[in-house]
């Protein structure tokens, strides 16, 4: 296979943004970090050298890591962190997927600035896109920027059990755009030629916000999500949840001039104040001067416009390509998982820690288990060496009690909200088909959670609002061409049904991609057993795997 190599030097970088100087952690002195481009079938080798003062690890978001689970990257899941001064070489093959993914730090909130685009082109040789060849391909990496030190922000939200502090700007390719103070020069610019086609590779790298994205005067055609081709879907607005990607074609067919591309919040974590700021970039036709009349601004949907978001999400279907996996009809494991907020008994002597609902600490959970990462070794190491005491394999297949999940009701029995911190995993047979119903709860407020599964793509069979009703939902299952994702925005006050085949041995975390929720316990992990042969089993760890 063709080998693509990179070296990532992670270290401090001082930049001026929003009228202030600040030092952040970045890769190779760039914000966003380097763009990785590979063809399907290539091998990627990335040496990561940690010159930052923090423990880090890098995750290749959405990459299957087939039989290369040691390279997946989440801290304490597949590896221990790369300590300051340490290094680790990630090595894996890129197979079975094409389109846009990204990479990011998977250790505390460092991913705010340690992230970049990962593009998977069609196989080397003759293969092409299943859509008209674009004249140019453009990463549109949407992010957030804090004037404060993001590590402090996270520490504060963890100790108080409260919501994270609001970011100071959204960004396009690291730039806030000219609507923010001192940012006229810090605006992303895209020059286009009339009549040409552009492929926008849109990524939501924000920590805690779902985003709307639009380009004034232009329609977009979605052709892929999460590196999986979709039926071409024409739309004027794109919705991206944290972790998700959208590939969309833009035809430069408007009257030559200047147009804003813009993104703003669709939804954020409860308790986070409504953020009405908008990041902008400027799309300019070659033939028009940069000093012509001000760019045209698109009308973005309002914060909380769920009907628009739901229309976008539910209109997406997969493009049926020859050889693509089809939905398995027989299910081996059925899980029903509630996701949302609850409380965790706090130490009453520590007032700040008990500032959550009912004088307890706010926590997140799946089936009332608030996920706790181990600290002595990674889940995958423990699994591989059969070390006892690191985790248990009793993750509950359903919540402790059935109730009305979607009504906001603070007078409820506190028992429904009570979570316990634990590292409880679910063990899966090699090649078993798993169906997961994710039921959002609303006990402490309803919110859309972007749930991300490592190691696999899943079929999204259906989504809906209210309490999940199996009979009604199953009638609506799309078993023919459901969209394929690695991250699903489970509707606020609703549910989603996923199905995947556990064909990749290893330890795989499934978690909310809202950074603040992940650290509060909104996750769980699967152990997928080895297959029957050496070719279907996880090889031993690489010699340089960081240990604890």
Q: Which residues bind ligand C2O (CB under 6 A)?
A: 59, 61, 74, 104, 106, 243, 452, 454, 509, 511, 513
To ligand C2O, the closest distance from the beta carbon of 285 in angstroms equals: 35
Two structure tokens written together for 490? 């489970």
To ligand C2O, the closest distance from the beta carbon of 548 in angstroms equals: 19
Please identify which residue in the block is written with the tokens 């639009």. 214
To ligand C2O, the closest distance from the beta carbon of 206 in angstroms equals: 12
Q: Distance (Å, rounded) from C-alpha 193 to C-alpha 287?
A: 8
Q: Which is closer to ligand C2O, CB of 104 or CB of 361? A: 104
Beta bridge partners of 144: 170
To ligand C2O, the closest distance from the beta carbon of 72 in angstroms equals: 9
Q: Which is closer to ligand C2O, CB of 74 or CB of 143? A: 74
To ligand C2O, the closest distance from the beta carbon of 34 in angstroms equals: 17
**512 near 364, Cβ under 8 Å?**
yes
The CA-based dihedral angle spanning residues 440, 441, 447, 450, taken in that order and rounded to the nearest 10 degrees: -30
Q: Which is closer to ligand C2O, CB of 206 or CB of 309? A: 206
To ligand C2O, the closest distance from the beta carbon of 479 in angstroms equals: 28
To ligand C2O, the closest distance from the beta carbon of 366 in angstroms equals: 14
**145 near 132, Cβ under 8 Å?**
no
Q: Which is closer to ligand C2O, CB of 264 or CB of 511? A: 511
To ligand C2O, the closest distance from the beta carbon of 243 in angstroms equals: 5
State whether residue 344 is helix, strand or coil. strand
Element (H, E) at 287: none
Q: Distance (Å, rounded) from C-alpha 428 to C-alpha 434?
A: 8
Q: Where are the alpha helices (DSSP H) in 178-324?
A: 306-314
Q: Which is closer to ligand C2O, CB of 90 or CB of 468? A: 90
Q: Which is closer to ligand C2O, CB of 164 or CB of 281? A: 164
**156 near 163, Cβ under 8 Å?**
no
Q: Which is closer to ligand C2O, CB of 106 or CB of 214? A: 106
Please provide residue 170's backbone torsions phi and psi, each rounded to the nearest 5 degrees. -95, 160
Q: Which is closer to ligand C2O, CB of 17 or CB of 452? A: 452
To ligand C2O, the closest distance from the beta carbon of 357 in angstroms equals: 27
Gyration radius from the chain CA atoms: 22
State whether residue 155 is helix, strand or coil. helix
State whether residue 500 is helix, strand or coil. strand
To ligand C2O, the closest distance from the beta carbon of 74 in angstroms equals: 5
Q: Which is closer to ligand C2O, CB of 74 or CB of 177? A: 74
Q: Which is closer to ligand C2O, CB of 187 or CB of 487? A: 487
Q: Shortest Cβ contact with ligand C2O: which residue?
A: 61
CA distance between the termini of the chain? 33
**102 near 243, Cβ under 8 Å?**
no
DSSP label of 57: -
Q: Distance (Å, rounded) from C-alpha 521 to C-alpha 481?
A: 33
Beta bridge partners of 500: 434
Please identify which residue in the block is written with the tokens 């804090």. 146
In terms of DSSP bridges, do strands 258-268 and 278-285 run parallel, antiparallel, or are they unpaired?
antiparallel
């Amino acid at each position: 296979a063709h080998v693509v190599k990179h070296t990532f030097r992670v270290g401090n970088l001082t930049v001026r943004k929003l009228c202030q100087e600040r030092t952040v952690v970045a890769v190779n002195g760039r914000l966003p970090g380097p763009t990785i481009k590979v063809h399907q079938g290539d091998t990627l080798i990335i040496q990561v050298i940690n010159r930052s003062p923090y423990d880090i690890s890098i995750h290749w978001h959405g990459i299957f890591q087939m039989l290369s689970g040691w390279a997946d990257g989440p801290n304490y899941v597949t590896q221990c962190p790369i300590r300051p001064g340490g290094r680790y070489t990630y090595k894996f093959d890129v197979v079975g997927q094409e389109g846009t993914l990204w990479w990011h730090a998977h250790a505390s909130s460092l991913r705010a600035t340690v992230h970049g685009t990962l593009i998977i082109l069609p196989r080397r040789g003759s293969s092409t896109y299943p859509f008209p060849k674009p004249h140019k391909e453009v990463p549109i990496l949407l992010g957030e920027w804090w004037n404060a030190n993001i590590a402090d922000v996270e520490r504060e939200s963890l100790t108080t059990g409260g919501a994270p502090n609001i970011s100071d700007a959204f960004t396009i390719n690291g730039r806030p755009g000219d609507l923010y103070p001192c940012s006229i020069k810090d605006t992303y610019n895209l020059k286009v030629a009339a009549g040409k086609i552009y492929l926008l590779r849109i990524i939501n790298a924000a920590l805690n916000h779902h985003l709307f994205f639009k380009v004034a005067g232009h329609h977009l055609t979605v052709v892929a999500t999460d590196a999986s081709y979709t039926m071409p879907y024409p739309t004027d607005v794109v919705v991206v949840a944290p972790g998700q990607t959208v590939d969309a074609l833009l035809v430069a067919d408007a009257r030559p001039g200047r147009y804003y591309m813009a993104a703003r919040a669709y939804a954020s974590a409860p308790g986070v104040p409504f953020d009405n700021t908008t990041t902008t970039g400027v799309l300019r036709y070659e033939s028009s001067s940069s000093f012509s009349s001000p760019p045209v601004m698109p009308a973005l949907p309002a914060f909380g416009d769920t009907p628009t978001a739901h229309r976008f999400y539910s209109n997406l279907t997969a493009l049926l390509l020859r050889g693509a996996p089809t939905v398995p009809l027989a299910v081996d494991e059925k899980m029903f998982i509630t996701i949302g907020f609850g409380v965790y008994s706090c130490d009453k002597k520590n007032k700040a820690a008990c500032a959550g609902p009912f004088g307890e600490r706010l926590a997140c959970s799946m089936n009332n288990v608030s996920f706790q990462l181990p600290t002595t070794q990674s889940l995958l190491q423990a699994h591989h060496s059969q070390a006892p005491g690191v985790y248990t394999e009793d993750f509950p297949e359903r919540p402790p009690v059935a109730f009305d999940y979607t009504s906001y009701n603070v007078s409820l029995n506190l028992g429904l909200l009570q979570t316990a911190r634990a590292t409880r995993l679910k063990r899966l047979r090699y090649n078993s088909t798993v169906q997961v119903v994710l039921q959002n709860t609303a006990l402490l407020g309803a919110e859309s959670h972007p749930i991300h599964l490592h190691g696999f793509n899943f079929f999204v069979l259906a989504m809906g609002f209210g309490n999940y009703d199996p009979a009604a939902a199953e009638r609506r299952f799309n078993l023919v061409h459901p969209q394929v994702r690695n991250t699903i925005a489970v509707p606020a006050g609703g549910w989603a049904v996923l199905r995947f085949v556990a064909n990749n041995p290893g330890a795989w975390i499934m978690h909310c991609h809202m950074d603040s929720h992940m650290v509060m316990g909104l996750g769980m992990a699967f152990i997928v057993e080895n297959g029957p042969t050496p070719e279907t089993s996880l090889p031993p760890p690489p010699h340089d795997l960081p240990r604890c």
